[in-house]
Structure 1
Amino acid sequence: MSSPVRTPASAATAVPAPASPADAPPTEAELLAFARAAAADAELVASLPLDPEGRTWLRLEGPAGSEAWLISWPPGTGTGWHDHGGSRGAFAAAAGTLREASLAVRLPTEGWKTLELADGVDRARELTDGAGRAFGPHHVHEVLNPSDSEHAVSVHAYYPPLPLMRRYSRTGAVLRVEQVELPEDWG
């Protein structure tokens, strides 16, 4: 990602969080409802500066202590394969199209560097304006803006806040752990 853009206090609270019982962590459905509501907030989305060279983002205040981000995706940019360190989450497209490739298999979280994936575990979907998806704590995916000319914008929410992210490389059916990133690595 390019340098983060810090959220002004007014933007951080622009989208109300769904109601939850006191001290209850947000459900995947609540994270998705938040991501969709934030993605539909035209003023919030317009507040995100777009950089043709790299992704930009604003930190948002998510529901019930969750971590949330408004992220821009210049044409052709993506995340590469990664997980969310055991957090569950959701994301929704606010503008443009995002393509997600994911694995329909629960990977072990520790003790491996290389795995050979079985046939039939690959899943793919496209998300456009307002479309979103929630995922559990073992989700491994990559997200890409497939456009060669248009920015995409999305909203992401995670609970608990991301403790780490594992980055993977993939060659055919072989998935390899390449890097473990901690929050302090994100700038």
Structure 2
Amino acid sequence: MTIAESPARSYGPTPLTLDELVELTRATAEEVRAGLHEIHFDAEHRWSVRLRSDTYADIWLITWTPDQSTTLHDHAGSLGALTVVDGVLTERVWRVAAGGAGLHDRALVAGRGVAFPVGYVHDVVNTAAAPAVSVHAYSPPLTAMSYYRVDEAGALRRTHSVLTHDPEPDVPTLSEVPTGPRPAHPDRGLEDR
């Protein structure tokens, strides 16, 4: 399934469903496993590259060395999904349940895909000793992200929001969507932000 194959719908912020986004990340994860996309690990910053983009969605490849994490965040008005290609990631999800609200951890192992609706707040971290690789899709493409902390009373508090077109604000990423073969050297084409 490619991004453009999804039929257009006349409702919601995107024509894609959460299930379709998970399928996009799973199909792209298979491409990564087959060696069709080059990956790079950077112990200082999570490395990412946008693999595909159109008016409906962006698909990103992200690598994680041990102890790398996002910060507790949402994806503003975008739906999202991720599939772990290799390794294990821990997702910390903010949930409101009958017993109260709080962060709940779940392990995301290679091959596991998860979806997140608008308003979903989570953090992803590599707590394992080995690197991990994941594929992420956002629809509509990201335009903003908000960041959060849990305060002393256990309540979720937004700390700030940023306008961004990629899931890794403030870290080096490829500036353009690749249209042909990837460069032989993984650092070629990276920009410092």
Q: Which residue is 2:143 aligned to? A: 163
2:115 aligned to which of 134, 140, 147:
134
Q: Which residue is 2:100 aligned to? A: 119
Structure 1 pair 62/92, CA: closer, same or farther in 2 (3 Å)?
A: farther
2: distance between equivalents of 1:26 and 1:83?
A: 18
Identity of aligned residues (%): 36
Structure 1 pair 124/62, CA: closer, same or farther in 2 (3 Å)?
A: farther
2: distance between equivalents of 1:171 and 1:128?
A: 30
2: distance between equivalents of 1:130 and 1:88?
A: 20
**Partners of 1:100 and 1:141 within 8 A in 2:** yes
In structure 1, runs of 5+ residues without a counterpart are: 1-14, 107-117
Q: Secondary structure at the match of 1:26?
A: coil
Q: Secondary structure at the match of 1:130?
A: coil
> Pairwise mapping of residues 1-187 of structure 1 onto structure 2 (< 5 A)?
16-17=2-3, 19-22=5-8, 25-41=15-31, 42=33, 43-45=35-37, 47-62=38-53, 65-105=56-96, 119-147=100-128, 149-171=129-151, 173-183=154-164, 186=170, 187=193
2: distance between equivalents of 1:58 and 1:36?
A: 17
Pairwise CA RMSD of aligned residues? 2.4
Q: Which amino acid aligns with 2:106?
A: R
**Partners of 2:3 and 2:56 within 8 A in 1:** no
TM-score, structure 1 as length reference: 0.76
Query: What's the offset of the Cα at 1:177?
Result: 1.5
1: distance between equivalents of 2:9 and 2:39?
A: 31
2: distance between equivalents of 1:18 and 1:126?
A: 31
TM-score, structure 2 as length reference: 0.73
Query: What's the offset of the Cα at 1:150?
Result: 1.3
1: distance between equivalents of 2:53 and 2:23?
A: 11
Query: What's the offset of the Cα at 1:22?
Result: 4.3
**Partners of 2:55 and 2:141 within 8 A in 1:** no
Higher helix share: 1
1: distance between equivalents of 2:127 and 2:86?
A: 13
Query: What's the offset of the Cα at 1:121?
Result: 4.4
**Partners of 1:39 and 1:155 within 8 A in 2:** yes
Q: Which amino acid aligns with 1:83?
A: D
Q: Which amino acid aligns with 1:80?
A: T
Q: Secondary structure at the match of 1:40?
A: helix
C-alpha distance after superposition, 1:4-27 (max 9, x if no partner): xxxxxxxxxxx8447322467111
Total equivalences in the alignment: 160
**Partners of 1:101 and 1:125 within 8 A in 2:** yes
Q: Which amino acid aligns with 2:20?
A: E
**Partners of 2:149 and 2:159 within 8 A in 1:** yes
Q: Which residue is 1:9 aligned to? A: none
2: distance between equivalents of 1:64 and 1:164?
A: 16
**Partners of 1:26 and 1:64 within 8 A in 2:** no
